[in-house]
Structure 1
Amino acid sequence: MIDNKKVPEQSQQLSRSLNSRHITMIAIGGAIGTGLFLGSGQAIHNAGPSIIISYLIMGIFTFLLMKALGELLLSDTSKHSFIDFVAEYLGPRAEFMTGWMYWICWISLAMADLTATGIYLKFWFPTLPQWVGPLIIVILLMLANMVNVGLFGEIESWFSFIKVAAIVALIVVGTIMVITHKVVNGVPASFGNLVKYGGLFPTGGSSFLMGCQMVVFAFAGIEMVGVTAGETANPKEELPKAINTLPVRIILFYLGSMAVVMAVYPWDQIKTTVSPFVQVFSAMGIKYAAGIINFVVLTAAMSATNSALFTTSRTLYTLALSGNAPHYFAQLSSEAVPKRALNCSSLVLLLVVALNYFLPSKIFQIISSVSTINFLFVWIIIMVCHIRYRQRSQHPGISPMPGYPFTSWLTLLFFISILVVLLIEPATRLSLILFLIFFALLFWQYKLLTRRK
């Protein structure tokens, strides 16, 4: 039962221990995850080289999303996260539903990433059951997150550094292979391979649209900076810096890596069950390089799970402060960590262990689809919230949204159009229907809550 009492604010003080380096690396970590390292294989299979265009379009709109979110956060740095702004500009019902939907977002994303860890570990241990890895990783990361937010920042910084180093290495090595026309599996490496096997849109325009799900999933979690605001030492200086460097990361990490992968390895030979990064390095004949890259993609999945534990615990904590979750979860430990909320999220994540036991071959696609739809809903809410904020304030805030109001409305319509595409696509239609059912249940639950009040 949800307790509608507000928790005294003075007793709830999160530690502001995240510095500029932490925020920057967390922002990078939010932009690089399992969607790029593992999900890109499925995206390439569906759309071919046109996936590069999909990443570019999605990158532009997620940058606009982040600019809108940044302007919101900087308008009042005393708030814990963007969910507090939803309460102010869209009302308590929207706050309740967005908060719980965002919690589900990260729970489902973490389940997908934990599933990925089980797949990656098979590279070294082919006979290892897929559920063993997720079980061990959840326990280890839960214990690490209990210490303090500073340790989370350090762990995430190193995870992000490893991911960035791997992508840069892939781009550099791949570019050298293209320049020297190194033969891989009988095919010379060349950027001409991007259009040689059926053109830029080899699977047709409809397949290009249907690849949207994995592209969106690749960017899921990019708004995580909006949850760190309450624990950032100097948000007015550090948040804009993290957000404004986003376009460079998108161009380098997504467009660069995908272009190199398909220039070295023909797109129609890329498997969906193994990371394209591992396939490329294996094709080079460097056995240990493939093992190193597999370690990197394993790190990426652990990083996303680490971020999920942080985000879900803070989201549950924020919900408890506003009376939209039991106030039991609003209590902080002596290290200023919402330990009870963290324990709850960790226990829920253990469900993925059972899912990987019963559905090891299908679970990643199912969960990633659910996660994608949930994140799209949250992004839509953020854009609506930003539009309402600008309409009310009538003047731009710190680090304003460029091209407002045109860009805000265009971004909102873009995210809505993707939901329509996912409804048409048979593979994601069931996930969208399940989302709508869960949405209706939350709507009904809030109605019961207000009646009790």
Structure 2
Amino acid sequence: MENKNQLSRSLSSRHVSMIALGGAIGTGLFLGSGESIHKAGPLILLIYICTGIFVFLMMRALGELLLSDTSKIIFIDFIKEYLGERSGFVIGWSYWIGWLIIAMSELTAMGTYMQFWFPNIPAWIWELLFLLLLYIINIIAVSAFGETEFWFALIKIIAIIAIIIAAVVMVLLHVHTNKGPVQFSNLWKYGFSSGNISQIISAFQMSFFSFLGVEFVGVSAAETKNPLATIPKAINSIVARILIFYIGALMAIMIVQPWPNYNANQSPFVQVFAGVGIKSAAGIINFVVLTAAASSLNSALFTTGRMLFSMSPKNNFFAKLNKDSVPMRAISFSALLVAFVALISYLFPQGAFKIITSVASAGFLVIYSFLMLAHIKYRKSQDYIDGRKLFQLPGGVTSDYLTLIFMTIIFLILLFSKETMITSLLTIGWFIFIYLLSWRKTKPNRQS
């Protein structure tokens, strides 16, 4: 007999593949890549490849854990299993808070994007409307969420493919923009980087945050129809998609016009479309980034609901599912907290949200590091020795340690950069606070 309080497995392979892809493509590419190009030049391509390799290793470690026990609701359960109750408490609630903050910032961004077309309508009205719409989608059924996320991701993919095809066609037709001829040599004729070492190093941090949310496939695992087949396929395809969509898009952008001509404070996609005479460029990209923000908010509601459901004790108010096997109570509470952004964005300047978002982003570095530590403990456990050894991480624990070193370097870059030093210290303060709180809320770690 089916467990009435068990999440349904309604996400198809098509949904999960798009969820994995959508999690790796966001506003970091469409808006933030202009700053990356400005700081690192064509060298940004190697930086994205390097970062993509370690993100892929992290995802393979996650995939191996997910397939070792498909009954686990969320990947945080593996941290709790192999690193102890306190680690699970600290990382679980940090992950929940991190996604809440991301949801708030994305909702604020959506209100801002809508003012591009409707400047006389207050942003908070759009924020509440979008939140209500995505909330309804999330509580209907998990398949409704999957279908919505599929189309959100598809819009982003179409935009990237369009820019890549446009670049190739313009090279073949010898098109000239207002910045000069479109040619492959634009990639190297102006040098491979700005030559500023500190700017190049900071580009590593920006490239890492472009992939923030790629682990979302690990949140949806418990609601996947055939996880043994679907999860490996989704994770393995990430590398190819990174090469096509990130590297391909960035190469196309720098081929269309010389990279030193890009404005760091404007989307390079807008600049490319405007450079070839498409007057509606800003409107097209505004629609794409609006979709990217909606996708992130949609994922945030899904994630925070599952996290609160998973972290709540049995028989708790939030540990209940509705008739469609959706954690409606947990989603509703998370959405209610996110709704406060409409009031906060009215009372406080938007700059405050950039600081909070940076704290959440730095926190994900710690969360990903704990995921790798959990994988190391799993590999040394009896579960691995006696298990089926499915979808193993290439390189084993060596890959774990190399990934941990990479993430430590990124965090140190954050910690010692003027722009992010305060937010990094705030992140450290948060983890110290939640760890101290865990001593009152959890049993002693099994591993201690």
Give TM-score, length-normalised by structure 1: 0.91
- In structure 2, the CA distance between the partners of 1:357 and 1:174, relative to structure 1 (3 Å rule), is farther
Q: What is the match of residue 211 of structure 2? A: 219
Pick the aligned partner of 1:252 from 244, 251, 255. 244
Shift of 1:236: 0.4
Do residues 107 (structure 1) and 100 (structure 2) align?
yes
Shift of 1:337: 1.1
Q: What is the match of residue 61 of structure 2? A: 68
Pick the aligned partner of 1:373 from 351, 362, 365. 362
Q: What is the match of residue 48 of structure 1? A: 41
Shift of 1:180: 2.8
Do residues 261 (structure 1) and 230 (structure 2) align?
no
Pick the aligned partner of 2:87 from 85, 89, 94. 94
- Aligned residue for 2:192, secondary structure, equals coil
Q: What is the match of residue 7 of structure 2? A: 14
Q: Distance in 2 between matches of 1:208 and 1:127?
A: 41
Shift of 1:141: 0.7
Do residues 77 (structure 1) and 66 (structure 2) align?
no
- In structure 2, the CA distance between the partners of 1:165 and 1:44, relative to structure 1 (3 Å rule), is same
Paired letter, 2:200: F
Pick the aligned partner of 1:399 from 380, 383, 391. 391
CA contact (8 A) 1:34 1:304 kept: no
Within-5 A mapping of 1:3-402: 10-126=3-119, 128-197=121-190, 199-288=191-280, 290-321=282-313, 327-357=316-346, 362-363=351-352, 365-392=354-381, 393-394=384-385, 397-402=389-394
- In structure 2, the CA distance between the partners of 1:54 and 1:367, relative to structure 1 (3 Å rule), is farther
Pick the aligned partner of 1:423 from 399, 411, 415. 415
- In structure 2, the CA distance between the partners of 1:361 and 1:95, relative to structure 1 (3 Å rule), is closer
Deviations, residues 170-203 of structure 1 (Å, cap 9, x unaligned): 1111222233332222322223333444x22215
Deviations, residues 103-127 of structure 1 (Å, cap 9, x unaligned): 1221222233223323433432345
> Which moved further from structure 2: 77-86 or 275-284?
275-284
Q: What is the match of residue 4 of structure 1? A: none
CA contact (8 A) 2:85 2:443 kept: no
CA contact (8 A) 1:216 1:372 kept: no
- Aligned residue for 1:245, secondary structure, equals helix
Question: How many residues were matched structurally?
Answer: 440
Q: Distance in 1 between matches of 2:122 and 2:265?
A: 16
Q: What is the match of residue 5 of structure 1? A: none
Paired letter, 1:426: K
- Aligned residue for 2:419, secondary structure, equals helix
**How many percent of aligned residue pairs carry the same amino acid?**
47
Q: Distance in 2 between matches of 1:116 and 1:190?
A: 35
> Which moved further from structure 2: 64-73 or 106-115?
106-115
Q: What is the match of residue 6 of structure 1? A: none
> Which moved further from structure 2: 329-338 or 260-269?
260-269
- Aligned residue for 1:192, secondary structure, equals helix
Paired letter, 2:30: F
- In structure 2, the CA distance between the partners of 1:98 and 1:105, relative to structure 1 (3 Å rule), is same
Structure 1 regions of 5+ residues with no counterpart?
Answer: 1-8
CA contact (8 A) 2:39 2:194 kept: no
Shift of 1:314: 0.4
- In structure 2, the CA distance between the partners of 1:209 and 1:355, relative to structure 1 (3 Å rule), is farther
Structure 2 regions of 5+ residues with no counterpart?
Answer: none
Q: Distance in 2 between matches of 1:354 and 1:214?
A: 30
Q: Distance in 1 between matches of 2:330 and 2:228?
A: 27
- The root-mean-square deviation of aligned C-alpha atoms, in Å, is 2.3
Q: Distance in 2 between matches of 1:52 and 1:367?
A: 28
> Which moved further from structure 2: 339-348 or 219-228?
339-348
CA contact (8 A) 2:201 2:413 kept: yes
CA contact (8 A) 2:86 2:443 kept: no
Shift of 1:132: 4.2
Shift of 1:265: 3.3
Deviations, residues 190-234 of structure 1 (Å, cap 9, x unaligned): 23333444x222151211111233212210000111111111111
Q: Distance in 2 between matches of 1:450 and 1:230?
A: 24
- In structure 2, the CA distance between the partners of 1:218 and 1:280, relative to structure 1 (3 Å rule), is same
Shift of 1:264: 1.7
CA contact (8 A) 1:38 1:116 kept: no
Deviations, residues 391-425 of structure 1 (Å, cap 9, x unaligned): 11247721111112221210111111111111010
- In structure 2, the CA distance between the partners of 1:269 and 1:357, relative to structure 1 (3 Å rule), is farther
- In structure 2, the CA distance between the partners of 1:40 and 1:349, relative to structure 1 (3 Å rule), is farther
Q: Distance in 2 between matches of 1:57 and 1:93?
A: 33
- Aligned residue for 1:77, secondary structure, equals coil
- In structure 2, the CA distance between the partners of 1:351 and 1:283, relative to structure 1 (3 Å rule), is farther
- In structure 2, the CA distance between the partners of 1:178 and 1:349, relative to structure 1 (3 Å rule), is farther
Shift of 1:364: 5.9
CA contact (8 A) 1:390 1:396 kept: no
Paired letter, 1:259: M
Q: Distance in 2 between matches of 1:182 and 1:107?
A: 45
> Which moved further from structure 2: 205-214 or 420-429?
205-214
CA contact (8 A) 2:34 2:268 kept: yes
